Chains A and B, each alone.
Chain A
Amino acid sequence: MVIMAADRQAVSLGLGPGMKLADARARVPDLHAFDHQPLADADLLSRLAEACERYTPMVAVEPPHALILDITGAAHLHGNEERLAQDAEDRLDAAGYSACWALAGTADAALALARHGLKEGAEAQLPVAALAMDAKTHQSLERAGLYHIGDLAERPRANLAARFGMELTVRLDRILGLEDRPIDPLRRIGNVVTERRFAEPLTHIDGALTCLSELFAEASERLNERGQGARMIRMMLFRCDGDVARLGLETGAPTRDAALFKRLLRERIEALNDELNPGFGYDLIRLSIVASEALAPQQLRLEGGEDRRGDAVSLVSQLSTRMGRDRVQKFAAADSHIPEQGLLALPALNAPPPVPWQRQSPDNPPMRPLHMFDPPQRVQVIAEVPDGPPYRFTWRRKSHQVMRYEGPERIASEWWQRKDGQQPGKGGLTRDYYRVEDARGRRYWLFRHGLYGEEKANPDWYVHGLFA
């Protein structure tokens, strides 16, 4: 077993990562060792990243133990960059973490500086190991007498590339700030971001909700200037002890309506599994509009009256927020002739525009049931001939006498979807559907699964739906 990480005290005793546990125990017999939990570490790191979103929305996780904050244009909120970094260190300190940080023009430079405990402008003093190439490259660089990044910086790039590969020159340029790489932030930045900071943390939920409504009003003002409305809203409540509560809202149509926002927010809060706990209070509340769509400034109808379409959309938004988007559905036709696969129930929040359903021939009774069982339910059927219509069937322990029937309507399986479906006997079972009516006047949709004698010796019967 090998030591993965050691605390400050262990380091002062000469222990460190990479050392064998047995060797360490030989030096310090009463050391405490715990199993390495990479997942828990990653989890903790991403929670820290979330907490760091208070400084900038561009926070990227750099495993195994670094965070990159792109503070371009965000430092002025704290005075300057140094003060921002100091604030972050103080907060991490208060939460019981020790952190090394560095500021630099590029992400890689900052990472390298922080890892080697140096500050901004000291890139030249970094050891070549900061390039994070493999051990062999580092060794050969040192053999060539190049111990520091500064030694490499003066060399012509072409020679270095010829000797050690392009990779090295790219990394070198990144550390020296000549080239930048994009970072991969945790979250997409919203189109519109509004936030409010509090000198004195908010300890009441109501205050926080009022603040969110105000933030939305601000955001919708900015959306109004662009002729847009919010479709997806993300809210983050930063607690002063580092905990972050996240709320999301989605609307059925672009909106700038503050009343609707308040209603949806209330629904969202009620639907939370674990309710918001302000604890020691929120000191930063941020609202971002993640997705927006064009929305022309609305004009009230001259003669009054409500806009009914808007009402329908806001009802959909409200119900979807409360029960989850999958529970409020619109039907759409799917491209399949298998009865149970011929439909989709899509979330009504972003249902596609309606397509016309198949028209019925006039004066025919309904050929498809109103209620469908998916999967179909087994029935016991007595038929006069094995491949004929049902004569009597038993469903849910009740016997039904067939008084009228129509059929069969033959529906083949989708043999082209199956492997070797074109071969005889491998195309799946054909269904023979019958519309039947029993003595009480109830109408059923029964089918025989498989052609008698050809596909199956003793086909099963199912009830697939009920007619009105």
Chain B
Amino acid sequence: MNTIDSDSGQAVEPSPDTPSAVPPASPAKASALRTKLARILAASGVRTSEDKDAPSHFGFGVEAIDSALRGNAKADGLPRAALHELHAESKDDRTSAAAMALLLAQRCRNLDQEARPVLWVSESGEARRQGRLYPPGLAELGIDPDSILHVDAPDSIAALRAAADGVRSPAMAAVIIELAGKKPRGLDLTATRRLSLSAQKSGVLSLMLRSNSDPDNPLPTAAFSRWLVAAAPSLALEANAPGHPAFDIKLLRHRSGLYGLSARLEWNRDDQVFREQHSEQSAPDTGAVPALAAVRTDHQGTRAA
């Protein structure tokens, strides 16, 4: 402990160019002190409060999908410190895609020990026309509305800037940015690369939510994975009432070359996990596409040529 005292004694020497009462130690010195301290703490068996053990990956909570997403990585699921893209299959699936993004962020939040907010960035014009987030509805999905920091950006460029600031700040659990249209202004490879790099550095999950886009012919982005989300018929409750939220998801792109993964998921609010919707319980009486076999993993681990 003597070493620390003598070192920190030097560190608080007033430097001439900063007039504040307690000048901050120089970053290099501070980091040197920290490594020293970490060594001492490791030797003495004291655990640091930095949650080093917080998982680096998150998943849907469905075993089959999470393990299929493993790819070349060390853990199941998707990496947190990355940019992921969610496309609404059509204009009417915007709400489902938004819910999927919020629920993934929520699952990610649940991994942390301390509660951190989720930054939601959207364009004000789009929110006015297509509906805005309704806090009681968030609460109904099992998301605490107080955990959402809502940014109502005037345009897509301001939204991207706000999101970039959010991703850079380790105080956020996740950043969700919603951009509508086939080609929003300012959204390009550079912007997404900036988001992706910041996410890798800060460990903040960033999700890009795209509605009214062209999922078959998407803009090139630096996202780690790209998903297609659509609403799916729910399993009816008593008296033919609409049931729990149901989604059709499809993996369009993955850094490890996975593709063809698709599933129909249902959100379980009480356990905060997704589960697969089993069509045999009640076949959708709509004649719509029946749920596919949950996972097709033939291409696992191989890069798409």
* A interface residues (Cβ-Cβ under 8 A, vs B): 214, 217-218, 220-221, 224, 256, 258, 297, 301-306, 308-312, 314-316, 318-319, 322-323, 326-331, 333, 339, 342-343, 345, 348, 354, 357-358, 360, 362-363, 365-374, 403-406, 435-437, 439-443, 465-468
- Distance between Cα atoms of A368 and B135 in the complex (Å): 9
Which of A309, A443, A465 has most B Cβ within 10 Å? A443
B242 near A224: Cβ-Cβ < 8 Å: no
Q: Closest chain B residue to A256 by CB distance? A: B20
Could you tell me the distance between the alpha carbons of A374 and B33 in the complex, rounded to whole angstroms?
55
Q: Are B172 and A315 within 8 A (Cβ)?
A: yes
Interface residues of B in 131-176 (CB under 8 A from A): 131-142, 144-146, 148-154, 158, 161-162, 165-166, 169-172
Q: Which residues does chain A contribute within 8 Å of B50, judged by CB atoms?
A: 303-305
- A404:B240 contact, CB within 8 angstroms: yes
In the complex, what's the smallest C-beta–C-beta distance from B140 to chain A, in angstroms?
4
CA of A372 to CA of B131, assembled, Å: 5
Residue pair A343, B99 in contact (C-beta under 8 Å): no
Contacts of B37 in A (CB 8 A): 302-304
CA distance A365 to B171 in the complex (A): 32
Name which of B37, B144, B162 has the most chain A CB atoms within 10 A of its CB. Answer: B162
Asked whether B165 lies within 8 Å of A318 as measured between CB atoms, the reply is: yes
Contact B152 A327 (CB under 8 A): yes
A363, B38: Cα distance in complex, Å: 46
Cβ contact within 8 Å between B136 and A466: no
Q: For residue B234, which residues in chain A have a CB less than 8 angstroms away from its CB?
A: 365, 404, 437, 441, 443
**In the complex, are the beta carbons of A315 and B233 less than 8 A apart?**
no
Q: Could you tell me the distance between the alpha carbons of A330 and B118 in the complex, rounded to whole angstroms? A: 11
Q: Which residues of B contact A345 (CB under 8 A)?
A: 150
Interfacial chain A residues near B136, Cβ < 8 Å: 339, 342-343, 357-358, 368
- Please name all residues of chain A whose beta carbon is closer than 8 Å to the beta carbon of B96 when the two chains form the complex: 442, 468
Contact A362/B153 with A369-B134, A371-B95 known, Cβ cut-off 8 Å: no
Given contacts A217-B20, A371-B95, 5 further A-B contacts (CB under 8 A): A360-B140, A370-B98, A439-B287, A440-B233, A441-B286
Q: Measured between C-beta atoms, what is the minimum distance from A431 to chain B in Å?
A: 16
Which residue of A218, A311, A319, A357 is within 8 Å of B135 (Cβ)? A357
Most buried by B among A310, A322, A370, A443: A370
A348–B119 CA distance with the chains assembled, in angstroms: 12
Kindly list chain B residues whose C-beta atoms are within 8 Å of the C-beta of A368.
Answer: 134, 136-137, 139-140
| Distance between Cα atoms of A218 and B18 in the complex (Å) | 10
Contact (A441, B139) CB under 8 Å given A311-B169, A316-B149: no
Query: Is the Cβ of B145 less than 8 Å from the Cβ of A371?
Result: no
* B21 / chain A contacts, CB cutoff of 8 Å: 221, 224
A-B CB pair tally, cutoff 8 Å: 239
Q: What is the minimal beta-carbon distance from A437 to any residue of chain B, in angstroms?
A: 4
A-B contact pairs, 20 of them (CB 8 A): A217-B18, A218-B19, A221-B19, A297-B22, A304-B37, A312-B172, A322-B161, A329-B149, A343-B136, A348-B150, A362-B270, A368-B134, A371-B94, A440-B233, A441-B288, A465-B131, A466-B95, A468-B96, A468-B99, A468-B247
Q: How large is the interface on B (under 10, 10 to 19, 20 to 34, 35 or more residues)?
A: 35 or more
- Taking CB atoms, residues of chain B closer than 8 Å to A358 are 136, 139
Tell me how far the C-beta of B171 lies from the nearest C-beta in chain A, rounded to whole angstroms.
4
Q: Is the CB of A437 within 8 A of B233?
A: yes
Give bound CA distance, A443 to B166, whole Å. 32
B299 within 8 A of A: no
Contact present for A220 and B135 (CB under 8 Å): no
How many Å from the CB of A357 to the closest CB on chain B? 4
Q: Is B69 on the interface with A (CB-CB < 8 A)?
A: no
Partner of A404, one of B33, B34, B138, B242: B242
Asked whether, in the complex, the Cβ of B95 is within 8 Å of the Cβ of A468, the reply is: yes
Assembly CA distance A226 to B142 (angstroms): 43
Point out the residue from A301, A372, A403 that lies within 8 Å of B285, measured CB to CB. Answer: A403
Q: Is B267 an interface residue (CB 8 A)?
A: yes
Least CB separation from B264: chain A residue: A441
Q: Which residues of B contact A342 (CB under 8 A)?
A: 136
Give the distance in Å from the alpha carbon of A368 to the alpha carbon of B134 in the complex.
8
Chain A residues whose C-beta falls within 8 Å of the C-beta of B269 in the assembled complex: 360, 366
Does A370 lie within 8 Å of B170, measured CB to CB?
no
Q: Complex: how many Å from CA A373 to CA B132?
A: 7
In the bound complex, CA of A303 to CA of B44 (Å): 13
A328 cross-chain contacts in B, Cβ below 8 A = 149-152
Does B239 sit at the interface, judged by CB under 8 A? yes
Question: In the complex, A276→B245 CA distance in Å?
Answer: 52
The residues of B that contact A365 with a CB separation of less than 8 Å are 234, 237, 241-245
Q: Does B298 contact A (CB under 8 A)?
A: no
Establish whether residues B153 and A465, one from each chain, have CB atoms under 8 Å apart when the complex forms.
no
**What is the minimal beta-carbon distance from B44 to any residue of chain A, in angstroms?**
12
Closest 9 CB pairs of A and B: A468-B99, A371-B131, A311-B171, A366-B140, A406-B241, A312-B171, A441-B233, A372-B134, A354-B146
CB pair A309–B92 under 8 Å, yes or no, is no
Q: Which of A220, A309, A369, A439 contacts B171 (CB 8 A)?
A: A309
- Does any Cβ of A come within 8 Å of B246's Cβ? yes
- Contact, CB under 8 Å: B146 / A308: no
Give bound CA distance, A343 to B138, whole Å.
Answer: 12
Q: Is residue B48 within 8 Å, beta carbon to beta carbon, of the partner chain?
A: yes
A291 to B73, CA, bound (A): 51
What is the CA–CA distance of A348 and B245 in the complex, to the nearest angstrom? 30
Does B117 sit within 8 A of A, measured CB to CB? yes
Q: How far is the CB of B229 from chain A (nearest CB, A)?
A: 10
* B98, chain A: closest CB distance, angstroms: 6
Interface centre among A323, A437, A465, A468 (most CB of B within 10 A): A468
- When the two chains form their complex, are residues B149 and A371 in contact, meaning their CB atoms are under 8 A apart? no
**A436 and B242 contact, CB distance less than 8 A:** yes
* CB-CB nearest in chain A for B245: A468
Q: Provide the bound-state CA to CA distance between A165 and B135, in Å.
A: 63
Q: Which of B207-259 contact A (CB under 8 A)?
A: 230-234, 236-237, 239-248
**Distance (Å) between the CB of A436 and the closest chain B CB?**
7
Residue of B nearest to A372 (CB): B134
- B4 vs chain A, min Cβ distance (A): 9
CA distance A440 to B135 in the complex (A): 25
Most buried by B among A343, A366, A435: A366
Residues of A near B236 (CB, < 8 A) are 404
A341 → B minimal CB distance (Å) = 12
Q: Give the complex CA separation of A312 and B135 in angstroms.
A: 21
Report B-chain residues with C-beta under 8 Å of the C-beta of A331. Answer: 133, 135, 138, 145-146, 148, 150
Contacting residues, chain B, for A466 (C-beta < 8 A): 94-95, 131
For the complex formed, measure the closest distance between the CB of A59 and the CB atoms of chain B, giving whole angstroms.
30
Contact status B158-A323, CB under 8 Å: yes
Do B172 and A330 touch across chains, with their CB atoms under 8 A apart? no
B41 in the interface (beta carbon within 8 A): yes
